[in-house]
């Protein structure tokens, strides 16, 4: 597979995502400069974490105007897999590829620590090797991660099983104490109605090697690769 | 043009003699721009005029040293064609005046020092000193500094992986913000700040020049008084986003073989970067200010040359490569302009609108500043500090209470509230997160890791600056060794009061001697550093704080060790000898409210044997955990080993031998050269035999067991239990004390 990692000015988890795809999972990676207009030849797109344009304005609010985002919209519209992590999630929200918005963390501080998330929908291309209700321990690192949306949209997300991850306790309870940032309904990640665009605040790319402590994040990347392989196989038939 | 008056000279912090020297060098009176340029370059901050004669004594060479002091940062070989590039710098004065921006630009400055050398920064550590948290003002400074470090470092995508924070009211009006950064570079691709090659273009890139930070270096070279807060305009404002672009642009320029030399514009801005690069190459530089990108119209040459606007760089490109350099900078949306060229005459010549506005021999400005051998002698109060009659201090009655009080004291308590605000995992290298003896990051593409620690017990340094500095070197090395790393290099950040006072100068000279002796014994070279004098307000000086940042190499990532207990049933062994070392201890301060006595005894040969032993045990795969005994002694070390694991706790049952010692010295004394280790029972004998072969005393003192920490003391066959606490209680006090002291006052 050839996975594209978009580099916005101020992206800083781009190398980390590339490391996972290339060095850990053994696939090709292409760094995509934000001024690119075409994503031809790429099998999936990752929008990495960081502080695009410094995030001095609302997070992701300027990055959505980068030329590459038109191509990303097209790519997603054609059914391609688009995966936004942290700042990438924020950009997907601003670009309208996912519904909702991010508020400042409840604590008003940046927070970097391990949290637990529960798999709410194991049928997406990004979670297909996981089981519903499975619990992963993954780090978060953000100042603006409090997910918010209006009640109607929230009801829609819930009804369509678009809530993909919820913050939970170590034993899987999605209670307020397990919510690290004040997100509505403990939401840690959502997908679009078609399931091919996913955004999540936790950083799965930070936990794919036992050397760094845990490998819980690996399953998400493996799901993505497996989905792509299935798709290729189906197309070949 | 203003006439140079005595007042004007004094306002520029220059003495009459220094001014006369300027006139001698120029062969005429300087104009105001030239006076300004001399004043910043000859400031204590830039010229090291009081410290240089003593700094020369420090050992700076060794087989691994690729770059010693004198460049933007030091570099040490870690094999595989790679080297680590590191330095520590202070941003104390600005952080008191404006905590957020002061700390943020401190981070920005040290990052530029590292990537200017061609290294990608991979880790930051901070060493901070504040007044006690009961004062709202101290809390304000602490919170501002932490936010500033977080705001800048997080945005840059460089993880803040460790550090230390100490609270003492002596720092209330002079907080210390010392930032350490480490980067990785190819050994044959180190860049230096040199303006070689006459005719080569000099290119400015980065942010525009504004009126901020003018005289920052001079401000940092003066003591504070009640009006210091009015100096806020001398503090720069940081823009981490532009710095991130600058970092990527620099590394891309360096990949492409376009550059001759490069230097960041830190203190003294365009003046220092141009004259230092010219001086190193024995050349001159001609600058044209007309084309310097600027934020506002109407800036004078004086302002442009002295501005300390952040996120700016000066490079000397290979002739003919200008366009390629400019294209890279534009790709990253940076301002860029060819502002001059390298000349052969050794003169820094500054032009504006076709007129010469300054003309100074570059070497005279950069390197021929004044040198002082300031007088030094111990202060009269020194004996009062060290003379302490222990008979007047009652021995401990409530061991539980004392342990809890120590675990709750902000200096010892968990700094989780702080480091959770720092992104400590970005770049996915962090093997040991904040909260162990040292931070460990792996080096991608190798099987290696580097460990880093920042250390200095300034109370020890107050009580005996020579011993205090030796102890700081020993503790830093011990922290690295407990993580499985062999120390390979050191950077220092020497924070002191006013060097024009003989007692302060004595502290400085003694500290240098102590560092020298310890570094020579451990064979750890000092490859970079920084001196911060004038940490003094209204005549009250900080404790002498020679902060050390030490780097160690773990040649096999499998040797990485952590401080927390791992498994039920493991044996606990204390390596080293416990003496009656209560002087200067955290226990005396927290429980007895005394900062007195002589600091702990240290024998460098004993320390070296201990460190060699621990490293050998770790490499032999014989240890489960290793934790250095420092603040709070063996009792606190044991407690930390029980509670500092990530997501779990362990209990321990321990019996210590009292001998002729006081109980409080056994529990909380800070005897050096001691490490608490835990080992599998099957390895116990091998570990004891191993220790014996190194001549290191080793006592099996207990076992990892249950959910309580129980410490008894054995005296003439009888055992007395002095501490018995549920581990959950220890954890609660230690983990949340910091937040409680912020929220409940």
Distance CA B16, CA A131 (A): 79
pLDDT surpassing 80 at residue B17: yes
Instruction: Average the pLDDT over A217-234 and give the result.
Output: 96
B521 in Cβ contact with B46 (< 8 Å): no
Closest CB to B424: pick one of A112, A203, A205. Answer: A112
| Min Cα separation A118/chain B (Å) | 18
Q: Cβ of B155 and A10 within 8 Å? A: yes
pLDDT digits (tens, 9 = 90+) for A162-179: 999 999 999 999 999 999
Instruction: Average the pLDDT over B279-290 and give the result.
Output: 97
Classify burial at B208, counting beta carbons within 10 Å of its beta carbon; exposed 0-12, middle 13-18, buried 19 or more.
Answer: middle
Interchain contact A110–B (C-beta under 8 A): yes
- At B742 the pLDDT is 87
Name the residue ranges covered by the structural domains of chain A. 2-236
pLDDT surpassing 70 at residue A9: yes
Name the active-site residue from B91, B93, B627, B690: B91
Q: Cβ of B421 and A111 within 8 Å? A: yes
Instruction: Average the pLDDT over B123-133 and give the result.
Output: 97
Instruction: Average the pLDDT over B322-333 and give the result.
Output: 97
* Strand-pair partners of A140: A113
Residues sharing a CB contact under 8 Å with residue B60, sequence separation 6 or more, in sequence order: B68, B69, B525, B526, B527
- At A156 the pLDDT is 97
pLDDT surpassing 60 at residue A53: yes
Q: Which residue, chain included where needed, has tokens 């501490």?
A: B723
- At A19 the pLDDT is 98
pLDDT surpassing 90 at residue B222: no
Instruction: Average the pLDDT over B291-306 and give the result.
Output: 93
How crowded is the C-beta side of B183, counted as CA atoms within 13 Å? 29
Q: Rounded to two decimals, what is the model's pTM?
A: 0.95
A207 in Cβ contact with B433 (< 8 Å): no
Confidence of residue A237 (pLDDT cuts 50, 70, 90): confident
pLDDT surpassing 90 at residue B221: no
Q: Tell which of B100, B143, B157 to mutate to test the A interface (max A CBs under 10 Å).
A: B157
Interchain contact A96–B (C-beta under 8 A): no
Residues sharing a CB contact under 8 Å with residue B463, sequence separation 6 or more, in sequence order: B385, B386, B583, B584, B595, B596, B597, B598, B599
Interchain contact A57–B (C-beta under 8 A): no
Confidence of residue B422 (pLDDT cuts 50, 70, 90): very high
Closest CB to B427: pick one of A15, A54, A56. Answer: A15
Interchain contact A13–B (C-beta under 8 A): yes
Known catalytic residue at B93: no
- At B467 the pLDDT is 98
| Min Cα separation B123/chain A (Å) | 14
CA B467 to centroid of chain Cα atoms: 19
B449 in Cβ contact with B557 (< 8 Å): yes
Q: Tell which of B120, B148, B425 to mutate to test the A interface (max A CBs under 10 Å).
A: B425
- At B744 the pLDDT is 65
- At B211 the pLDDT is 86
Dihedral pair phi/psi, residue B365, rounded to 5°: -70, -40
Instruction: Average the pLDDT over A63-85 and give the result.
Output: 97
Q: Cβ of A109 and B421 within 8 Å? A: yes
Dihedral over alpha carbons B248, B251, B256, B261 (to 10 degrees) = 120
Q: Cβ of B425 and A50 within 8 Å? A: no
CATH number of A2-236: 3.40.50.880
Q: What is the 3-state secondary structure (H, E, C) of B642-657?
A: HHCCCCCCCCEEEEEE
Instruction: Average the pLDDT over B250-261 and give the result.
Output: 95
Distance CA B271, CA B369 (A): 14
Instruction: Average the pLDDT over A105-126 and give the result.
Output: 97
Distance CA B369, CA B402 (A): 52
pLDDT digits (tens, 9 = 90+) for B338-372: 999 999 999 999 999 999 999 999 999 999 999 99
B352 in Cβ contact with B301 (< 8 Å): yes
Q: Cβ of A51 and B239 within 8 Å? A: no
pLDDT surpassing 60 at residue A145: yes
Closest CB to A51: pick one of B147, B155, B427. Answer: B155
pLDDT > 90: what percent of chain B? 90
Known catalytic residue at B744: no
- At B233 the pLDDT is 65
- At B267 the pLDDT is 82
pLDDT digits (tens, 9 = 90+) for B720-738: 999 999 999 999 999 999 9
pLDDT surpassing 70 at residue B287: yes
Q: Cβ of A9 and B426 within 8 Å? A: no
pLDDT surpassing 90 at residue B231: no
Confidence of residue B235 (pLDDT cuts 50, 70, 90): confident
Name the active-site residue from A36, A94, A120, A205: A205
Provide the number of CB pairs (under 8 Å) joining chain A to chain B.
88
Q: Cβ of B442 and A139 within 8 Å? A: no
The residues in B 548-567 lying below 8 A from A, measured between CB atoms, are 557
Tokens at B296, concatenated: 């506002």
Mean residue pLDDT of chain B comes to 95
pLDDT surpassing 80 at residue B224: no
ipTM (interface predicted TM):
0.96
Mean residue pLDDT of chain A comes to 97
- At B202 the pLDDT is 98
Confidence of residue B648 (pLDDT cuts 50, 70, 90): confident
B151 in Cβ contact with B524 (< 8 Å): no
Distance CA A185, CA B299 (A): 54
Known catalytic residue at A177: no
Residues sharing a CB contact under 8 Å with residue A206, sequence separation 6 or more, in sequence order: A16, A138, A139, A141, A212, A217, B425, B426, B428
Of chain A, the end-to-end C-alpha distance in Å amounts to 18
């Amino acid at each position: 597979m050839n996975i594209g990692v978009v580099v916005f000015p101020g992206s800083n988890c781009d190398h980390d995502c590339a490391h996972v795809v290339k060095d850990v999972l053994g696939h090709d990676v292409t760094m995509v400069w934000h001024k690119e207009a075409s994503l031809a030849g790429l099998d999936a797109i990752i929008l990495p974490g960081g502080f695009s344009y410094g995030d001095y304005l609302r997070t992701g609010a300027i990055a959505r105007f980068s030329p590459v985002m038109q191509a990303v919209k097209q790519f997603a519209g054609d059914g391609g897999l688009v995966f936004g992590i942290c700042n990438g999630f924020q950009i997907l929200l601003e670009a309208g590829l996912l519904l909702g918005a991010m508020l400042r963390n409840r604590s008003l501080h940046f927070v970097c620590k391990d949290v637990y998330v529960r798999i709410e929908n194991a049928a997406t291309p990004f979670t297909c090797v996981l089981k519903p209700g499975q619990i992963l321990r993954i780090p978060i690192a953000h100042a603006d991660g409090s997910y918010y949306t209006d009640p109607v949209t929230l009801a829609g997300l819930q009804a369509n099983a678009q809530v993909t991850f919820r913050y939970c306790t170590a034993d899987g309870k999605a209670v307020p104490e397990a919510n690290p940032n004040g997100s509505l309904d403990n939401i840690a990640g959502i997908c679009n109605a078609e399931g091919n665009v996913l955004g999540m605040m936790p950083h799965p790319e930070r936990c794919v090697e036992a050397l760094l402590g845990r490998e819980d994040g690996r399953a998400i990347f493996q799901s993505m690769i497996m989905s792509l392989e299935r798709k290729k196989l189906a197309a070949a038939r | 043009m203003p006439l140079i008056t005595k007042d004007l000279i004094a306002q520029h912090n220059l003495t009459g003699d220094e001014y006369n020297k300027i006139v001698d060098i120029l062969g005429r009176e300087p104009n105001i721009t030239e006076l300004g340029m001399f004043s910043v370059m000859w400031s204590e901050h830039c010229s090291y005029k009081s410290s240089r004669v003593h700094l020369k004594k420090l050992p700076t060479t060794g087989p691994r040293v690729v770059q010693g002091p004198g460049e933007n940062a030091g570099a040490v070989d870690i094999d595989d064609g790679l080297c680590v590039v590191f330095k520590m710098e202070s941003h104390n004065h600005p952080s008191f005046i404006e905590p957020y921006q002061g700390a943020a630009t401190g981070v920005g400055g040290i990052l530029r020092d590292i990537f200017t050398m061609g290294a990608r920064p991979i880790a930051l550590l901070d060493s901070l000193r504040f007044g006690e948290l009961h004062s709202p003002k101290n809390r304000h400074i602490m919170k501002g500094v932490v936010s500033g470090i977080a705001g800048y470092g997080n945005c840059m995508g460089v993880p803040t992986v460790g550090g230390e924070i100490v609270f003492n009211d002596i720092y209330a009006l002079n907080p210390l913000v010392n930032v350490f950064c480490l980067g990785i570079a190819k050994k044959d691709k180190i860049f230096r700040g040199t303006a070689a090659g006459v005719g080569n273009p000099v290119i400015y890139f980065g942010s525009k020049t504004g009126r901020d930070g003018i005289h920052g270096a001079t401000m940092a070279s003066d003591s504070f008084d009640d009006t210091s807060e009015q100096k806020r305009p001398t503090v720069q404002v940081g823009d981490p986003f532009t710095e991130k672009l600058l970092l990527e642009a620099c590394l891309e320029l360096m990949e492409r073989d376009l550059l001759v030399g490069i230097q960041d514009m830190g203190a003294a801005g365009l003046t220092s970067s141009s004259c230092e690069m010219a001086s190193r190459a024995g050349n001159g530089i001609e600058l044209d200010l007309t084309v310097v990108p600027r934020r506002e119209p109407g800036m004078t040459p004086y302002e442009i040359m002295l501005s300390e606007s952040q996120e700016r760089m000066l490079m000397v490109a290979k002739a003919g490569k200008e366009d390629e350099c400019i294209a890279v900078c534009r790709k990253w949306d940076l301002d860029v302009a060819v502002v001059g060229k390298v000349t052969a005459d050794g003169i820094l010549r500054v032009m504006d609108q076709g007129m010469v506005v300054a003309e100074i021999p570059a070497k005279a400005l950069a390197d021929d500043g004044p040198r002082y051998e300031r007088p030094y002698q111990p202060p009269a109060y020194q004996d009062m500090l060290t003379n302490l009659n222990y008979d007047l201090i009652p021995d401990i009655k409530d061991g539980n209470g004392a342990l809890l009080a120590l675990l709750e004291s902000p200096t010892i308590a968990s700094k989780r509230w702080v480091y959770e605000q720092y992104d400590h995992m970005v770049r996915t290298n962090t093997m040991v997160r904040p909260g162990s003896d040292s931070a460990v990051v792996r080096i991608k593409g190798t099987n290696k890791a580097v460990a880093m620690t920042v250390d200095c017990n300034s109370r020890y340094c107050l009580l005996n600056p020579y011993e205090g500095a030796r102890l700081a070197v020993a503790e830093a090395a011990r922290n690295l060794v407990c993580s499985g790393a062999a120390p390979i290099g050191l950077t220092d950040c020497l924070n002191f009061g006013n060097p024009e006072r003989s007692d302060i100068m004595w502290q400085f000279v003694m500290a240098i001697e102590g560092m020298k002796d310890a570094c020579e014994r451990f064979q750890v070279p000092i490859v970079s550093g920084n001196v911060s004098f004038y940490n003094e307000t209204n005549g009250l000086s900080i404790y002498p704080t020679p902060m050390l940042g030490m780097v160690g190499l773990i040649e096999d990532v499998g040797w990485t060790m952590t401080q927390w207990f791992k498994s039920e049933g493991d044996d606990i062994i204390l390596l080293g000898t416990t003496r009656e070392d209560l002087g200067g201890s955290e226990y005396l301060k927290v429980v007895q409210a005394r900062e007195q006595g002589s600091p702990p005894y240290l024998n460098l040969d004993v320390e070296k044997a201990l460190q060699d032993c621990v490293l050998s045990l770790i490499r032999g795969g014989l240890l489960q955990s290793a934790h250095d005994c420092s603040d709070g002694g063996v009792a606190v070390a044991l407690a930390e080993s029980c509670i500092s694991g990530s997501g779990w706790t362990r209990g321990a049952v321990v019996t210590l031998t009292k001998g002729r010692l006081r109980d409080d010295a056994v529990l909380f004394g800070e005897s050096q050269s001691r490490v608490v280790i835990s080992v599998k029972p099957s390895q116990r004998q091998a570990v004891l035999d191993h220790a014996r072969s190194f001549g290191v005393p080793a006592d099996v003192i207990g076992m990892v067991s249950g959910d309580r920490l129980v410490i008894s003391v054995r005296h003439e066959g009888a055992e007395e239990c002095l501490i018995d606490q549920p581990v959950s209680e220890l954890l609660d006090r230690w983990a949340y004390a910091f937040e409680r002291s912020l929220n409940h006052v």
